[in-house]
Amino acid sequence: MSDLMKVSVTVNGRSYQAAVEPRLLLSDFLRHELGLTGTHVGCEHGVCGACTVLFDGQAVRSCLMFAVQAHGHELMTVEGLAPDPQHLHPLQEAFREAHGLQCGFCTPGFLMTLLPYLEQNPNPTEEEIRLAISGNLCRCTGYQHIVDAVKLAAEKMGS
Ligand code: FES
Ligand code: FES
C-alpha cells in the first residue's frame, strides 16, 4: 500500500478531511469514503458523463480525477442540488415533470452538467441543448424527453 495523503475538501457546503491513497479516484472517494452515492460510475474512462460533479463550480468528470486533486477545493454533487429534503431543485423538478429519466442512472450526471450550463446559458436553443448534453450518455430515454426537460428547466430557473 502506498503512503496515504491528506485530503481536505468541501462537498455540498460541508467540510471533510480524509487520508487516502494517491491513486484513489475522486468518484470512488465521493461514493465510498463520503457515502455520496448519487455520483454514478458508468465507464470509468471519461466517456459517459455519469460521474459529473462540480469542481469549484465547473462540471468535471470525477472518474478522471484523483481525490487528492480536490484538496483545498469546493465540490458539489447531486446530493447538494435540492434545497432541503422536502423540495427539489427546479432542474430536478423539470426532469420529473417532463419524464427526462427512466432508470435514472445517467441523471445525476446530466443534472450536474446542466446546472452550470443553464446558469450561463439561460435561454438555449434545442440545438444548443443537444450540444450541451452531448457528453452525457443515456441508454434509456432516446434523449427527446431530456431535451424537453432542459427546456422546462430553463424556464423554471429563469423565472
Ligand atoms: S464514469 Fe466518468 S465519464 Fe463515465
Ligand atoms: S435514464 Fe437510464 S441511462 Fe438514462
Q: Which three cell numbers stand for residue 78?
A: 447531486
d(CA 49, CA 20): 24
* pLDDT tens track for 51-82: 999 999 999 999 999 999 999 999 999 999 99
The C-alpha atoms of residue 40 and residue 55 are separated, in whole angstroms, by 16
Task: Give me the pLDDT at residue 41, please.
Answer: 98
Assess whether pLDDT exceeds 70 at residue 2.
Answer: no
What pLDDT, on the 0 to 100 scale, is given for residue 1? 57
Ligand 2 proximal residues by C-beta, below 6 Å = 101-106, 138-141
The number of the ligand nearest the C-alpha atom of 49 reads: 1
Q: How large is the average pLDDT for residues 92-100? A: 98
109 lines ligand 1 (CB under 6 A): no
106 lines ligand 1 (CB under 6 A): no
Q: Say which DSSP state 47 is in.
A: S
- Which of 78, 103, 114 has most ligand 2 atoms within 8 Å of CB, for mutation? 103
Strand 74-76 relative to strand 5-11: parallel, antiparallel, unpaired? parallel
Q: Give per-residue pLDDT as tens, 99-139.
A: 999 999 999 999 999 999 999 999 999 999 999 999 999 99
Please determine, for residue 144, whether its predicted confidence score (pLDDT) is greater than 70. yes
pLDDT (tens digit per residue) in 4-49: 999 999 999 999 999 999 999 999 999 999 999 999 999 999 999 9
With 0.95 as the threshold, say if the pTM is over it.
yes
Contact predicate 49/61, CB 8 Å: yes
